[in-house]
Chain A
């Protein structure tokens, strides 16, 4: 009889403990499931926290000013020529405004260079700000795409430039044509190099 009671109590105790453990596991699992459901829709976005705002003058770009050509500095032009598209300080690659595919398609945005702005460190500015954001700046985007036919350049305005010497001569033909709102361009460059032995 005593043994029977003991067995009964033992069975009863095991069952209760199992229910408690099962309940705990259930809630642990429930927390995990609820956590996964909640976190599955959470995104962490990088953002910029403003520190100090300045008013800028002379930033951005304007229309091409042909009156500046007379005072254009030759080395400056060629320095720009070899850096304007490849330097991340001057241009940003953007998706083109019009559909275009292939390696001949390219689109660049020119917002202006930060080098033209005097960034005096304001008093109270924390050291090492990560970035400087210029707001409402005017820039220009150029979409390059191949011409459909070379004959599209018929009736283009062409200029020939060249240099000639006894040992080396070169000629550059640049053709431009306005077509609707597009500007068509072509180049042909020949060189004659005389090697003197």
Chain B
């Protein structure tokens, strides 16, 4: 699992607003040190035996009929949720200390023909 800076392009088309189209820049990957203790607190909530009965049985029934590849996908989802959803920027709306210069730019699409007469 790695952390990396990026310039991310989100679509603003009415049919797919918010869709991540691509990245125009990807920084170097920096390994993030996560362990079991970072994930289990969320699973204890997600699999709470009193309130999550429906979710647990639905997941079990789903796994009973899918192949190994789909089962692996479910495990990947289980790992991804705490990473993507439960951290400060999306939940509390505050930056990580290293994210002070984040900017957003409205853009329109265009085309560019590089000038062959200019050196790279």
Chain A residues close to B by CB (< 8 Å): 38, 41-66, 68-70, 72, 74, 76-78, 80-82, 84-85, 88-92, 94, 97, 103-104, 106, 108-117, 119, 122, 125-126, 128-144, 156-157, 159, 161-165, 168, 170-172, 174, 176-178, 181, 183, 185-187, 189-191, 193
Is there an interface contact between A170 and B59, defined as CB atoms closer than 8 Å? yes
Q: Chain A residue with minimal CB distance to B23?
A: A92
- Mask: chain B, 7-35; 1 = CB below 8 Å from A; 0 = not: 11111110011111111111001011111
Q: Which of A65, A78, A125 contacts B88 (CB 8 A)?
A: A65
Is there an interface contact between B64 and A191, defined as CB atoms closer than 8 Å? yes
Is there an interface contact between B95 and A140, defined as CB atoms closer than 8 Å? no
Is there an interface contact between B57 and A168, defined as CB atoms closer than 8 Å? yes
Is there an interface contact between B111 and A46, defined as CB atoms closer than 8 Å? yes
Is there an interface contact between A183 and B105, defined as CB atoms closer than 8 Å? no
Range for the number of chain B residues in contact with chain A: 35 or more
Which A residues are in CB contact (< 8 Å) with B37?
Answer: 66
Is there an interface contact between B109 and A134, defined as CB atoms closer than 8 Å? no
Chain B residues close to A by CB (< 8 Å): 1-13, 16-26, 29, 31-49, 51-53, 55-57, 59-61, 63-64, 69, 71-96, 98-99, 101-114, 116
Which A residues are in CB contact (< 8 Å) with B42?
Answer: 66, 69, 72, 77
How far, in Å, is A165 (CB) from chain B's closest CB? Answer: 7
Q: Chain B residue with minimal CB distance to A186?
A: B75
Given contacts A64-B34, A161-B49, A172-B59, contact A134 B84 (CB under 8 A): no
Is there an interface contact between A78 and B46, defined as CB atoms closer than 8 Å? yes
Is there an interface contact between B90 and A112, defined as CB atoms closer than 8 Å? yes
Which A residues are in CB contact (< 8 Å) with B106?
Answer: 50-54, 122, 125, 129, 131-132
Which A residues are in CB contact (< 8 Å) with B43?
Answer: 159, 161, 174
